[in-house]
Structure 1
């Protein structure tokens, strides 16, 4: 037997309220109706979902495992209803975007702002997430598209490079390294560095770029995301190496940046479902984003643009 939406709704209501009476109140139906549907569901599934203890129901381990999937289905139904409401009222719809923190700090918000000029009533859902979370959202149809500074090798996702960026050394405006036009890894060794976990993909990129020096750099503080590293530098906690994308739009006027001499490059990747077409508004967002990433400027222009 397959559960229908009504059975899923009743099962979820019992789970979140912890009782037949609570589920009845939540769904505005009678308690006998809830009890009958639950008994029918358990009988057809050949599976006990709840144990009756002192007049209350206690979920079985099987019910708890089932609830994790049921809750996802419920959220999906809510999203469908929300989208239908948007389409009925405005004819515009919505777009769900997930991004890594670097591109999510300035590039994606700028693209969203431009998109809203075309679709003033558009509903936008935007989150900055880790790479694994981005992949899960896109593959699970819980996001229309993703943008990541890290490469993705997932058969159900199409990955397209949108832009290329360099690694930049960021520092306070009065730091000694501001006298340099380009910073070598060896130039960083006298200073405490704000870095990233070496076991993370982003941390691996940065540490590989710094490994070309003759002496190891000294990582004194570890953070998870590039915007956090920028905030730490702004507070005077050290210097850091971050990707160029987090500096675009000059969002950190209190810090100065110089290019790292390493040949390592980072890329902004557009991630879309391989087997699902993009909606009209999602395609419009992609077009907007593509129009915002012109070819990289030369080193002198880039240095001025990033606060040098």
Structure 2
């Protein structure tokens, strides 16, 4: 027997609420109706989906395995309804974007503001995700495009470089490092550093840059994302290494940024699914994004100052 959409809906409601009564409230139907449909579904599937324990239902291992697939079907149905709504509104459309935290901090908001001037009625969804989550959504064609400061090697994802920057050392105004034009890894040795998880893609990238010197570097605070590192530095809680994209705009007025030498480049990668072409409205957003970046920022050599707001 194959499950129909109503059975899938009821099964999912029981799983997420943990009870027959909760599912009934969620779906606005009676408890007996939920119980009857569940019993019918279990009978036809020849599977025990729930154990009845003290008036509640406990999902069996088979139910948990089934739920992983059912939830994907549910998300697909939601997407169908969203598309139908977009078509009803005469194709104004939507753009679903996932991005690395650095790109999502100021660059995506600026691009959205510029895009809105030409497309005021387009619905825009933005999620800031880890690299793994980002690639999964783009590869499954659940979003229109993704933006990452780290390279992606995934067969289902098309990747192209749209901008280049570099790693920067950031410190509070008045800090000893602020007097330098550029910062060597050895210059960091006297100061505790705000770092990233050593097993994260971003942390690995930063660690690779730090290996250019034998000088010991001490990390006494660990964060997951670069905006967190910037917030800590602005509060006077330490110094950090971040990509220059997170420094765009005027979010961090009390931060001084200096290029890290030797130079370590960072690139913004535009990601899209290989499963189907990008929509017209998504391509229009990419056009505004490319205009925002312009040509890749010029390399900042040692001895040159770096303007935190140069990407605005």
Give the TM-score taking structure 1 as reference length.
Answer: 0.90
Tell me what 1:113 maps to. 113
Q: Which moved more, 1:36-45 or 1:212-221?
A: 36-45
Instruction: Quote how far apart the aligned CAs of 1:307 are.
Output: 6.3
Instruction: Quote how far apart the aligned CAs of 1:58 are.
Output: 4.2
CA distance in 1 between counterparts of 2:198 and 2:55 reads 54
Tell me what 1:229 maps to. 229
Q: Secondary structure at the match of 1:272?
A: strand
Instruction: Quote how far apart the aligned CAs of 1:96 are.
Output: 1.2
- Alignment of structure 1 residues 132-143 onto 2, 5 Å: 132-143=132-143
Tell me what 1:306 maps to. 308
Instruction: Quote how far apart the aligned CAs of 1:280 are.
Output: 1.9
Instruction: Quote how far apart the aligned CAs of 1:35 are.
Output: 4.6
CA distance in 2 between counterparts of 1:302 and 1:79 reads 49
CA distance in 1 between counterparts of 2:291 and 2:170 reads 27
CA distance in 1 between counterparts of 2:120 and 2:307 reads 30
Instruction: Quote how far apart the aligned CAs of 1:79 are.
Output: 2.7
Q: 1:292 to 1:39 in 2, by over 3 A?
A: same
Q: 1:23 to 1:218 in 2, by over 3 A?
A: closer
Q: 1:50 to 1:267 in 2, by over 3 A?
A: same
For the 8 Å contact 1:150–1:201, the answer to whether it is kept is yes
Q: Deviation digits for residues 245-269 of structure 1, max 9, x if unmatched?
A: 1112242111111111123211111
CA distance in 2 between counterparts of 1:190 and 1:30 reads 68
Gaps spanning 5+ residues in structure 2: where?
A: none
- Alignment of structure 1 residues 169-184 onto 2, 5 Å: 169-184=169-184
Instruction: Quote how far apart the aligned CAs of 1:16 are.
Output: 3.8
Instruction: Quote how far apart the aligned CAs of 1:270 are.
Output: 0.9
Q: 1:28 to 1:181 in 2, by over 3 A?
A: closer
Q: Which moved more, 1:191-200 or 1:118-127?
A: 191-200
Tell me what 2:147 maps to. 147
Tell me what 1:69 maps to. 69
Tell me what 2:241 maps to. 241
Q: Secondary structure at the match of 1:253?
A: coil
- Alignment of structure 1 residues 255-294 onto 2, 5 Å: 255-294=255-294
Q: Deviation digits for residues 80-128 of structure 1, max 9, x if unmatched?
A: 2133223313521211111111111111111111122221111111111
For the 8 Å contact 2:182–2:304, the answer to whether it is kept is no
- Alignment of structure 1 residues 113-132 onto 2, 5 Å: 113-132=113-132
For the 8 Å contact 1:189–1:215, the answer to whether it is kept is yes
For the 8 Å contact 1:98–1:146, the answer to whether it is kept is yes
CA distance in 2 between counterparts of 1:244 and 1:135 reads 22
For the 8 Å contact 1:257–1:307, the answer to whether it is kept is no
CA distance in 2 between counterparts of 1:11 and 1:51 reads 14
Instruction: Quote how far apart the aligned CAs of 1:187 are.
Output: 1.4
Q: 1:46 to 1:241 in 2, by over 3 A?
A: same
Tell me what 1:296 maps to. 297
Tell me what 2:190 maps to. 190
Q: Secondary structure at the match of 1:260?
A: strand
Tell me what 1:212 maps to. 212
Q: 1:35 to 1:306 in 2, by over 3 A?
A: closer
Q: CA RMSD in A?
A: 2.5
Q: Which moved more, 1:228-237 or 1:210-219?
A: 210-219
For the 8 Å contact 1:90–1:121, the answer to whether it is kept is no
Q: 1:221 to 1:44 in 2, by over 3 A?
A: same
- Alignment of structure 1 residues 37-56 onto 2, 5 Å: 37-52=37-52
